[in-house]
Amino acid sequence: MATTIITSLIIGLITGAFGGILGIGGGLIMIPLMVEVLKLSQLKAHGTSLLALVFTGIGGAVTYALNGAIDFTAATLLALTAVITSPIGARYCNVLTEAKLKKYFGAFLIFCSVLLLLKPYLTNFIGTVPGYAKIIILLITGTFTGFLSGMMGIGGGTIMIPVMVILTGFTQHLAQGTSLLVMVPAGAIGAFTHWKMGNVEKTILWGLIPGIIVGTYLGGNLAHLISNNTLRMIFACIIMFLGVRYFRTSSPE
């Protein structure tokens, strides 16, 4: 039991630091670690990850808010639809083929990373969308974010951040802080659904949650020491790597 808690604490620290620096939940790291190291089933890893990511969102959002890097209006619009689709995605997690989902999601991550790498050229070419269109874009993005968050056990930053940076003109820091705040209500609804279905491994939460809170705080403060362009490039390269990894590998049954 003690070994499991220590191991989950270390996983939480890694996940929290990653999430705090890049403004994402860290589920893409936490889920493989829980499956490979803690030997959780893929389904339980998804459910447990989503519950833990609520605390990533809380810790990260507080840190970014103290640095003035959250757009509360955008966060509200994203959360409005995300809280509706998150429990639907959680239920769908029990139905869809994991291998196919990983391939689709991997392809999506690769697409987002390419867009982020080309962001300076794209914004000069197409500009940002007008104000009324931003509201529609954020509501639609929240819809997809909530569904994929509930289904894949992720925070959804890999979806929200590229959209906010490229189409709504947010800086990387502002997009990351806003993304972390949205994870709290959307993740909580989806996690509650997973909890009711028995997809949460409660014993590892004692180490996982404290590790995530500390790691997110450290990562969130470190993020503001890195320039916006550097942060965007790091983020794009990491999700490119994860996208290729997801696309080329199949999920364990």
**What pLDDT digit, counting tens, does each position of 56-91 carry?**
888 888 888 988 889 999 999 999 999 999 999 998
Which of 20, 39, 37, 18 shows the shortest CA–CA distance to 29?
Answer: 18
> Using one digit for the tens of pLDDT, what is the confidence trace for 198-220?
889 988 999 998 998 888 888 87
**What residue spans define the domains of the chain?**
2-248
Please check the confidence at residue 14 and state whether its pLDDT lies above 90.
no
Position 119 scores a pLDDT of 67
221-250 pLDDT, tens per residue? 777 777 767 777 877 888 788 788 878 865
CA angle 226, 129, 162 (to 5 degrees): 35
Please write the tens of the pLDDT for every residue from 121-140: 665 555 556 667 889 999 99
Mean pLDDT of 30-39: 85
- The CA-based diameter of the chain, rounded to the nearest angstrom, is 56
**pLDDT tens, position by position, 147-180:** 988 987 888 887 888 888 888 888 888 988 899 8
